[in-house]
Amino acid sequence: MTNQSEERNALSLPHSVFSADWLRQAESHAAQEIGISLFTLMQRAAVAAFHLARTTFPAAHHWLVLCGHGNNGGDGYEVARLAKSAGISVTLLAVKNAKPLPDEAQTAQNAWLSAGGAVGAADTRWPPDIDLIIDGLLGTGLASAPCAPYDALIVAINAHEAPVLSLDIPSGLDAEKGTVPGKAVQATLTISFIALKPGLLTGKARDHVGRLHCESLGLRSWLGGYPAVLQRLDATQLGDWLPLRRPCSHKGDHGNLLVIGGDIGFAGAILMASEAALRAGAGMVRVLTHKQHAGPILTARPELMVQELNEKSLSISLEWADVVVVGPGMGQKAWGKAAFKQVSESTKPALFDADALNLLAITPQKRQNRVLTPHPGEAARLLGCSVKDIESDRLLAVRKLTERYGGVVVLKGAGSLIAENGGPMALADVGNAGMATGGMGDVLSGIIGGLLAQQLSLFDAACAGAVVHGAAADRIALLQGTRGMLATDLLAVIAPLVNPDFKKKISPNESTTTLSAGRSRNA
């Protein structure tokens, strides 16, 4: 089947994300507190899933419903009953188990049988005309790789051409970590019940979740009384971080940013980071780089101030700067190491990326006024572990990074995580596969650095920067697709995103005097 995980509807999803383990434990308490049974919750889930399937695939006439031996299978029985009552042809296959079904799932199975439905064995040959698959095999309690016959069923689902709706979570995907310990369904749609879980948004989630929906089942108010494990971020929140500027503000109000890096052969990295900072709204950006790069960088972007990096220029520039970005294209030779040491001794707020992170891994240092932006490989070096260890539990990894190094950490990847030492955690639900190309991290560093220069807090700058970065890539993907996207493509769409409240439309006949009245002075 075709994986449609690039299709996102993130703007319609809730922003609070809750632990899957906690939700499983709290579900019965929630039902009791609002005065309904767990079976009523199951019925609500089935109604939501049925309507989503019917609305999305109105022409589907023969549904295959696959039920596991838990309450996820109970959801499947209820969906099957609703489909049958609507006149849809339904084939239901269930995994047999020596243990009895949970009470709610058994009630759902009995209702299906009473409605004239039949339960086939999971190894039954599938009818040839199936045009929709309902995945009710494994729920959020998965702790290891699916065993037989679940693994074979998952392989068969993925090999089939029919679209797939997964109930609560694609079978085989870890709801807490987003890992795939064995086989996992590649869903077309996933409907998460009660709340979003972390594993639907980070790790390998996008390879399996498809288009994500969430249905609270009437528990939204109840959930409001409990803390979320993290906040999901998207472009609708940019206005919370980025208000309109005062009309009389000037460049000095928007910060002096120093960007350091670009050893021989890596001028592109420092140029992309620096221009991204300007596009994000930094007042002034000074670049310290290898002397042979100064001319080409000035030619490419004359708004930058560019000097050769040496001990004297760095001392003067550190005194001038409000915020420092260090690492893009810096390398790990003596030239880069000397700059890294000097910056590490500074007390200025800073962002460390690329080779600055690799050098920090060699000489660990904890400080609170710094943002780190590692990809999984850099994170593994910083924690002295493997990339596999990082990806096996990204939420734990980002917390460990903040505990060891302090400040704020952005753990990059599909569903980038942002965490503050001793503080909140967030997930940037933006971006796409087109970002898997060189230079994207440099652009992110520049955006966050530019926002830090404008006096956003470390955590807010990291959150807003990650959202602007991913949302910019999403805008480019809408225009041209994901393959062939360049990091520099993002530069042209950063400015509209960092001005989320800019609504003014200028008519062709509007006078120059009228236009000038609302402009900030630029001297």
334 is in an annotated binding site: no
204 is in an annotated binding site: no
C-beta separation of 234 from 11 below 8 A: yes
89 is in an annotated binding site: no
421 is in an annotated binding site: no
The tokens describing 161, both together, are 């051409």
416 is in an annotated binding site: yes
261 is in an annotated binding site: no
405 is in an annotated binding site: no
226 is in an annotated binding site: no
What's the CA gap between 460 and 458, in Å, rounded?
A: 6
State the residue for tokens 């052969």: 265
251 is in an annotated binding site: no
187 is in an annotated binding site: no
For the chain, the distance separating the N- and C-terminal CA atoms, rounded to the nearest angstrom, is 58
DSSP β-bridge partners for residue 470 = none
What's the CA gap between 411 and 387, in Å, rounded?
A: 12
Residue 191's nearest CA partner among 216, 227, 172 is 216
C-beta separation of 131 from 62 below 8 A: yes
State the residue for tokens 């350091």: 260
441 is in an annotated binding site: yes
262 is in an annotated binding site: no
- C-alpha dihedral, 243 to 244 to 250 to 251, nearest 10°: 50
235 is in an annotated binding site: no
74 is in an annotated binding site: yes
344 is in an annotated binding site: no
375 is in an annotated binding site: yes
429 is in an annotated binding site: no
What's the CA gap between 185 and 165, in Å, rounded?
A: 10
322 is in an annotated binding site: no
- C-alpha dihedral, 84 to 86 to 89 to 95, nearest 10°: -30
397 is in an annotated binding site: no
C-beta separation of 257 from 282 below 8 A: yes
What are the binding residues for K(+)? 72, 135, 171
What are the binding residues for AMP? 412-416, 441
What are the binding residues? 71-75, 135, 150, 168, 171, 269, 329, 375, 412-416, 441-442
What are the binding residues for (6S)-NADPHX? 71-75, 150, 168, 269, 329, 375, 442
